[in-house]
C-alpha cells in the first residue's frame, strides 16, 4: 500500500457520519426500470452497481437522483410505497456498509424547465430548455409546501432503510431548486421570489423539515453549482470567455453557501454550470481537467462544512495537494468510477498504470441515460451489469486467434486471456492501437492516449502472444487449428473521387491527425462529423482558420 496520497486517504466527518477517505462517487442517473424499482429503491442489479464501487474502496457513495414527487405515470418515487422502499433498499445500504463505505441517497424535486415533456412545474412560468416555444407551468404555494413535506418524508424513508444521509438535488445545474434560487429564472412575487433571502427560502425550508423529521444529527448534503456560466437561456459560456453572468456568479454563491451552512446543511457537493451550459457539469474531453476547481475553492473560503469538488477531477496528486492545503475537503468522481470501479483502491496502492481511464466520451453514460437505457460505460460494459458480465475463468481452455490490434481486438484478447484462454493477437502494422491511435493524437486527447497505454500494458501483463507486422490469411487460420477466431480488422478510411483531390495540398483524416501536416492559414474541411470538428478545433488552436463543407 502506498502512503503517497496521505491527505486523500484521511477520514472525514460530514455531520456525525465518518467517511473513511476523501473520495466520493458523484450522483449519476440510474433510473431505468431494470436498475430502479417503481418505489424508488434500487433493484439488485442497480444496487450491485453501487456496491461494486464501494468494494473498490470509494469512501462515500452518493446515489443518482430519486424523485420525491411523481408527475408522470410509472415514474419512480420514494414516497409512493414506503414499506416496499425500505425493504428493497436495505440490500443496497447493507451491501455498501459491508465494505466500510457510506451511502447517501440523493433526493430530487425533479428538473422543472429541463424536463423533456415541458410539463414539469417551475417557480413561475418560464420557457422550456428543450423546446423554448413551450412554457412550463408555475407552482402554487400548496405545491411548494407539499414538495417540502415530500423531501422530509423521503429523507425519513432513506434513513429507515439504512442510508447514512441524504443529498438534496438541488441548487445545481438548472434543476428545479436552482431555478428558485437564480433571479433570472424566478419571477415569483411572494415570499419564494424576489430577494435572495426569499429565493433561498425553499432549499432552507427543505433542510429544516428534514432535520425536524430525522433528527438534527442526520447528515444532509446539498448538490451545488457554484457558477452558472450562462450568457442567456440556452447559451453557455466557454472557459476563459468574457461574458455577463445571466445565472449565479461567484460573489452571490459565497453568500448562498454561507446561508445554506447556517440553515443546517452538512456539506456542499460542488461543480459548475446549468442545462444552458451543460459542458460544465458534464465536461467532455475538450474541457480542461479539474475545470471546476478554481471556482469551488472560493466556496471553501467562506464555509466550515466539508466541500466536495467534481468535474474531470481524476488526478490523485492534485486532489491530495488541494485537500492538504485546505482548499477543498473531498475529491468527487463520477464517470472515472464507471470506467474503473477500483480506481480508489488503485490510488491507494499507487497502481496508477492499471487504471482504465475515462475518456469523457459520454457514449455509455449520459448518452445512454438520455435514450432511456441503463447507465453503462463505453469502455466497461460490465458497468450496470456487474454480476451477469463478471469475467470468470472458462470451463474449457481454448486456443484463440484475434486478427487486428485496435481497441476492439485488444479488448477481445484481454477478456479471452482473463478467462484463461491461450491467445494469439496478430496486427498487420508495427504498433497496436489501430485507428484509435490517430483519434488520440490531438493534444486535448490525453485520456485517449492513456487508454492506449492501459491496453498495451494489459496485453503485456497477460502475456498475450502479439505478432506485429503480420497479416493473417485464410490458409493460415485453416492450418493452425484455432478453436475461436475474432476478426477485429476495423474499418477503412473512405476516399473521395473528384478532380483535384490528388493534389499535394489534400490530406485525409488519419494522416492529418497522425502527422499534423496541414499547412497554410486557411483550410477547407470536407465533412462536419466528429472527426472533422476535432480537426477544425485542433487547427484553430494552432491559429489556422477552417471552413466546412
Active-site residues, by number, are 175
- Three-state secondary structure call for residue 57: coil
Residue pair 341/56 in contact (Cβ under 8 Å)? The answer is yes
* End-to-end Cα separation, the chain, in angstroms: 54
CA 242/CA 535 separation, integer angstroms: 25
Residue pair 331/289 in contact (Cβ under 8 Å)? The answer is no
Which element (helix H / strand E) includes 453?
helix 446-461
Q: Which residues contact 208 (CB under 8 A, 6 or more apart)?
A: 263, 264
- Three-state secondary structure call for residue 548: strand
- Chain centroid to Cα 291, Å, comes to 14
What ranges make up the beta strands (E) of 340-499?
Answer: 399-403, 422-426, 465-467, 484-487
Grid cell 456560466 — which residue? 229
Q: Which residues contact 88 (CB under 8 A, 6 or more apart)?
A: 37, 39, 41, 42, 43
Q: At what angle do helices 201-214 and 250-263 cross, to 10 degrees?
A: 20
**Alpha-carbon distances of 450 from 61, 352, 358, 534, rounded to whole Å:** 26, 11, 9, 18
CA 287/CA 362 separation, integer angstroms: 13
Residue pair 196/202 in contact (Cβ under 8 Å)? The answer is no
- Residue 122 pairs in a beta bridge with 138
HEC letters along 285-346: CCCCCCCCHHHHHHHHCCCCCCEEECCCCCCHHHHHHHHHCCCCCEEEECHHHHHCCCHHHH
DSSP code, position 377: -
CA angle 516–520–526, rounded 5-degree value: 70
CA 490/CA 477 separation, integer angstroms: 18
Residue pair 167/104 in contact (Cβ under 8 Å)? The answer is yes
For the record, the C-alpha cell of 426 comes out as: 496478430
Q: Please provide the size of the chain in residues.
A: 549
For the record, the C-alpha cell of 40 comes out as: 424508488
Amino acid at each position: 500500500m502506498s502512503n503517497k496520497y496521505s491527505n486523500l486517504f484521511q477520514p472525514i466527518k460530514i455531520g456525525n457520519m465518518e467517511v473513511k477517505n476523501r473520495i466520493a462517487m458523484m450522483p449519476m442517473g440510474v433510473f431505468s426500470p431494470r436498475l430502479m424499482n417503481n418505489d424508488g429503491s434500487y433493484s439488485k442489479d442497480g444496487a450491485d452497481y453501487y456496491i461494486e464501487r464501494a468494494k473498490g474502496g470509494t469512501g462515500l457513495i452518493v446515489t443518482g437522483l430519486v424523485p420525491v414527487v411523481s408527475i408522470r405515470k410509472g415514474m419512480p418515487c420514494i414516497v409512493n410505497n414506503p414499506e416496499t422502499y425500505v425493504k428493497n433498499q436495505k440490500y443496497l445500504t447493507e451491501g455498501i456498509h459491508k465494505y466500510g463505505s457510506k451511502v447517501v441517497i440523493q433526493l430530487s424535486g425533479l428538473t422543472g424547465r429541463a424536463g423533456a415533456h415541458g410539463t414539469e412545474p417551475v417557480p413561475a412560468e418560464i420557457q422550456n430548455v428543450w423546446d423554448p416555444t413551450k412554457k412550463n407551468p408555475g407552482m402554487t404555494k400548496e405545491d411548494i409546501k407539499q414538495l417540502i413535506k415530500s423531501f422530509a418524508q423521503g429523507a425519513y424513508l432513506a434513513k429507515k432503510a439504512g442510508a447514512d444521509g441524504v443529498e438534496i438535488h438541488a441548487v445545481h445545474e438548472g434543476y428545479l431548486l436552482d431555478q428558485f434560487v437564480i433571479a433570472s429564472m424566478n419571477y415569483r412575487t411572494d415570499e419564494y421570489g424576489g430577494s435572495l433571502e426569499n429565493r433561498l427560502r425553499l432549499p432552507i425550508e427543505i433542510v429544516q423539515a428534514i432535520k425536524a423529521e430525522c433528527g438534527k444529527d442526520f447528515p444532509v448534503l446539498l448538490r451545488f453549482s457554484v457558477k452558472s456560466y450562462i450568457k442567456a437561456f440556452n447559451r453557455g459560456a466557454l472557459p476563459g470567455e468574457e461574458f455577463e453572468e445571466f445565472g449565479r456568479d461567484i460573489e452571490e454563491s459565497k453568500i448562498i453557501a454561507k446561508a445554506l451552512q447556517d440553515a443546517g446543511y452538512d456539506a456542499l457537493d460542488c461543480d459548475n454550470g446549468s442545462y444552458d451550459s451543460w459542458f460544465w457539469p458534464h465536461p467532455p474531453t475538450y474541457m480542461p481537467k479539474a475545470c471546476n476547481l478554481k471556482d469551488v475553492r472560493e466556496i471553501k473560503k467562506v464555509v466550515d462544512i466539508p466541500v466536495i469538488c467534481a468535474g474531470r477531477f481524476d488526478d490523485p496528486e492534485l486532489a491530495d495537494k488541494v485537500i492538504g492545503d485546505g482548499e477543498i475537503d473531498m475529491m468527487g468522481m463520477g464517470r472515472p468510477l464507471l470506467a474503473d470501479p477500483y480506481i480508489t483502491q488503485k490510488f491507494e496502492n499507487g497502481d496508477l498504470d492499471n487504471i482504465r481511464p475515462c475518456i469523457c466520451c459520454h457514449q455509455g453514460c449520459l448518452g445512454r441515460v438520455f435514450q432511456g437505457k441503463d447507465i453503462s460505460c463505453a469502455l466497461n460494459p460490465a458497468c450496470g451489469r456487474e454480476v451477469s458480465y463478471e469475467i470468470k475463468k472458462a470451463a474449457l481452455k481454448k486456443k484463440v486467434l484475434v486478427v487486428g490490434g485496435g481497441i476492439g481486438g485488444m479488448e477481445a484478447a484481454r477478456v479471452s486471456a482473463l478467462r484463461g484462454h491461450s491467445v494469439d493477437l496478430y496486427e498487420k502494422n508495427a504498433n497496436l492501437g489501430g485507428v484509435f491511435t490517430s483519434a488520440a493524437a490531438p493534444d486535448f486527447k490525453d485520456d485517449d492516449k492513456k487508454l492506449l497505454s492501459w491496453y498495451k500494458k494489459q496485453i503485456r501483463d497477460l502475456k498475450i502472444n502479439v505478432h506485429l507486422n503480420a497479416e493473417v490469411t485464410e490458409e493460415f487460420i485453416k492450418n493452425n487449428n484455432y478453436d475461436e477466431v475474432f476478426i477485429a480488422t476495423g474499418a477503412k478510411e473512405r476516399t473521395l473521387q473528384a478532380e483535384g483531390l490528388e493534389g499535394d495540398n489534400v490530406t485525409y483524416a488519419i494522416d492529418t491527425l497522425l502527422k499534423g501536416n496541414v499547412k497554410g492559414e486557411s483550410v477547407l474541411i470536407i465533412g462536419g462529423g466528429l472527426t472533422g470538428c476535432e480537426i477544425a478545433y485542433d487547427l484553430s488552436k494552432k491559429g489556422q482558420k477552417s471552413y466546412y463543407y
